[in-house]
Structure 1
Amino acid sequence: MDALRFDPATKGLGVEKIPIPEIQNDDDVIVEVAYSGLCGTDLHIFKGEFPSSKVKYTPGHEYSGIVRAVGSEVKNVKVGDRVACDPQRWCTTCKYCFTARYHHCVEGGVENATGIRHDGGFAQFSRIRSRVVHKLPDNISLKQGALAEPISCVIWGLDRGFLPAPIGTQILLTGAGIIGNIWTAVLHHLGHRNVTVVEPSEIRRELNKRMDTGYTVISPDELTQRVKNENYAADVAVDCSGNPRAIEQALSTLTYQGKLQIFGVAPPQARVSISPYEIFRKELTIVGSIINPWSFPRALGIMEAMSDRYLDYHKLGIEVFKLKDYQKALAVLDNSTAAKVVFAINPNLE
C-alpha cells in the first residue's frame, strides 16, 4: 500500500510502498482510510519541534474510513462500518488512568499517540485498537469524519476553559487556522454571539468570515485599537495559535476574573512574558488544554447536530489533496492560503 512516511533522523518525508497491516491482537481493527487530516502538530513534528517516533513511521492522527477486518474480541464495530479513529493510547493501570486522566498516561498521552509515535492514517490502511474506533453518525460523511479528532479536542477545551458559560460572555479567539475556525463553528452552534476572532493573516481572516457567523474578525492591531478606543475586554480568551505574542495580547485583554485557555500548540522552547501582579489584581485564570479525554463520543454527537451548516470544507477553509501531492499541500499551509489540508486517500469509499 501507499503511505506517507516521515524519517525523524533526516526530517525526510515521502510516499513509499509498505505492507498492508494485518490483525495482530484480538482487539485490533483494520481500517481502510478514506480521509486523513494534516494537523499543525504534524507540521511541528516535521520541523523537529514536537516529540514523535524515533524511527521512520507513518504520521496522521485525524482520519476516517471503513472497517475491513476485526480481531476476535472486537464487539463495538464490524466489517463495513464507517468510522472515525481516536489516536489516543493508554495503559489502564497507571495512576493517571486510574484517576480518569488517561490522556496523561505514563505509557500513552499525546507523545505516544497513533500517528505521532505509532503508524497512523497517512496510508491506505491502518491498524488500531477497537476501543478508539467510533462509528460515524449516518448524516456525517467520511470526509466530515476526518474532523472528529480536532472537534473532540475542542470539546475537551470547552470543558477545561469555561463551560458552562452564559450566553453573552465576551469571548476572544486568537488564531484563525483550522482550530480557530472549528472553535468559531462550535461556539456559534452553541449559541454564543459575542465572539471576536483575531488573526494577523488577511487571507485567514477572510476564510473565517466564510462561516457567516457575524463574529467580529480583526487583526491584532485592530484589537489593540478596540481595547484603547472602546474599552473592549474579554471574559474568556482561547489562544488557537500557539504564538507567544498572541498569548500575551490575549492575556492583556482579559477583564477581571477573566480566563485564558492556551489551546494552540507552541514549540517547547517558546516563552511568554506575563505580569504576576496583573494575574493577582484581576484574579485571572490560565489553563492549558491537551488532546481529547472522554470527548470523542460527544464530538460525534455535536457533529451530528452541526451537520453541513458548520462542517462544510469550503466554509472551514479546508483544501483536499491526494497523498502523492503532499508537497503541494505543505506549501499551501506554509502560505496560509488554506486553514487546513486533508488528504483524500480513498475518496471513492464515500
Structure 2
Amino acid sequence: MEALRFDPKTKELTFEKIPVPKIENDDDVIVEVAYCGICGTDLHILKGEFPSSPVKYTPGHEYSGIVRAIGSAVTNVKVGDRVSCDPQRWCTTCDYCRTARYHHCVEGGVENATGIRHDGGFAQFSKVKSRVVYKLPDNISLKQGALTEPISCIIWGLNRSFLPAPIGAKILLTGAGIIGNLWSAVLHHLGYRSVIVVEPSDARRKLNQRMGTGFEVMTPDELNLKIKNENYAADIAIDCSGNAKAIEQAIAALNYQGKLQIFGVAPPQARISISPFDIFRKELTVVGSIINPWSFPPALGIMEAMGDRYLDYYKLGIEEFKMKDVQKALGVLEKATAAKAVFAINSNLE
C-alpha cells in the first residue's frame, strides 16, 4: 500500500510502498483510510518540536475510513462501517487511567498516540484497537469524519475551560487556523455571538470570515486599539495559536475574573511574561487543555447537529491533496493560504 513515512533522524517525509497491516489480535480493526488531516502537531513533529516515534513510521492521527477487517472479539463495529478513529492509547491500569485521566497515562498519552508514536493514517490502510473506532452518524460524510479528532479536542477544551458561560460573555479567540475556525464554528453553533477572532494573517482572517458567523475578525494591532479606545475586555480568552506573544496579548485583554485557556500547542522552549500582581489583582484563571479524553462520543453528537452549515470544507478553509502532493500541501500551510490541508487518500469511498 502507499503511505507517507517520516524519519525522525533525517526529518524527511517520503512517499513509499509498505505492506498492508493484518489482523494480529482479537481486538484489532483494519480501516481503509478515506481522509486524513495534517494537524498542527504534525507540523511540530516534522520540525522536531514535538516528541514522536524514534524510528521511521507513518504519521497522521485525524482520519476516517471504512472497516475492512476485524478481530474475533470486536463487537462495536463491523466490516463495511463508516468510522473515525481516536488516536489515543492507554494502559487501563496506571493511576491516571484508573482515575479517568487516561490522556496522562504513563504508557500512553499524546506522545504515544497512533500517528505520533505508532503508524497512523497517512496510508491507505491503518490498524487500530476496536476501543478507539467509532461509527459515524449517517449525516456525517467520511470527509467530515476526518474532523472528529480535532473537534473532540475542542469538546475537552469546553470541559476544561469555563463554558457554558452566559451567552452574552465576551470571548476572545487568538489564531484563525483550523483550530480557531473550528472553535468559531462550535461557539457559534452553541449560541455565542460576542466573539472576537484575532489573526495576523490577512488570508486566514478572510477564511474565518468566510464561515459567516458574523464574529469580529481583526489583527493584533487592531485588538490593541480596541482595548485602548473602547476599554474592551474579554471574559474568556482561548488561545488557538500556540504563539507566546498572542498569549501575552490575550492575558492583557482579560477582564476582572477573566479566564484564559491555553489550547494551541506552543514549542516547548516558548516562554511568556506575566505579572503575578495582575493575576492577584484581577483574579485571573489560567488552564491548559490537551487532547480529548472521553470526548469522541460528544464530538460526534455535536457534529451530527452542526452538519453542513459548519462542517463544509470550503467554509472552514480546508484544501484537499493527494499524498504524493505532500510538499504542495505543506507549502500551502506554510504560506497560511489555507486553514488546513487534508489528504484525500481514498476519496472514492464516499
User: Same fold judged by TM-score > 0.5?
Assistant: yes
Partner of 2:107: 107
Question: What's the CA shift string for 1:166-216, capped at 9, x where partnerless?
Answer: 100100000000000000000000000000000000100000000100100
Distance 1:212 1:104 in 2: 37
Give 3-state SS (helix, strand or coil) of 2:122's partner: coil
**What is the count of residue pairs matched by the alignment?**
350
Partner of 2:243: 243
Distance 2:278 2:43 in 1: 34
Letter in 2 for 1:89: R
Partner of 1:303: 303
- CA shift at 1:156, angstroms? 0.4
Question: What's the CA shift string for 1:320-344, capped at 9, x where partnerless?
Answer: 0001000000000000000000000
- CA shift at 1:164, angstroms? 2.0
Distance 1:81 1:157 in 2: 29
Listed as ranges, the matches of 1:38-53 within 5 Å are 38-53=38-53
Give the share of equivalent positions with the same residue, in percent: 80
- CA shift at 1:24, angstroms? 1.0
Letter in 2 for 1:264: G
Matched, 1:201 2:201: yes
Distance 1:166 1:14 in 2: 48
Give 3-state SS (helix, strand or coil) of 1:217's partner: strand
Distance 1:74 1:269 in 2: 43
Question: What's the CA shift string for 1:228-259, capped at 9, x where partnerless?
Answer: 00000000000000000000000010001100
Letter in 2 for 1:144: Q
Give 3-state SS (helix, strand or coil) of 1:256's partner: strand
| Unaligned runs of at least 5 residues, structure 2 | none
Partner of 2:172: 172
TM (norm. structure 2) is: 1.00
Partner of 2:328: 328
Distance 1:238 1:210 in 2: 21
Question: What's the CA shift string for 1:141-172, capped at 9, x where partnerless?
Answer: 00000000000000000000112211001000
Partner of 2:91: 91
Distance 1:105 1:13 in 2: 28
TM (norm. structure 1) is: 1.00
Distance 1:162 1:119 in 2: 35
Question: What's the CA shift string for 1:65-121, capped at 9, x where partnerless?
Answer: 000000000010000000000000000000000000000000000000000000000
- CA shift at 1:274, angstroms? 0.6
Matched, 1:279 2:267: no
Give 3-state SS (helix, strand or coil) of 1:21's partner: coil
Letter in 1 for 2:245: R
Give 3-state SS (helix, strand or coil) of 1:96's partner: helix
Distance 2:51 2:347 in 1: 30
Listed as ranges, the matches of 1:1-350 within 5 Å are 1-350=1-350
Letter in 2 for 1:98: R
Letter in 1 for 2:39: C
Letter in 1 for 2:166: P
| Unaligned runs of at least 5 residues, structure 1 | none
Distance 1:186 1:163 in 2: 12
Letter in 2 for 1:154: I
Distance 1:72 1:274 in 2: 55
Distance 2:229 2:267 in 1: 34
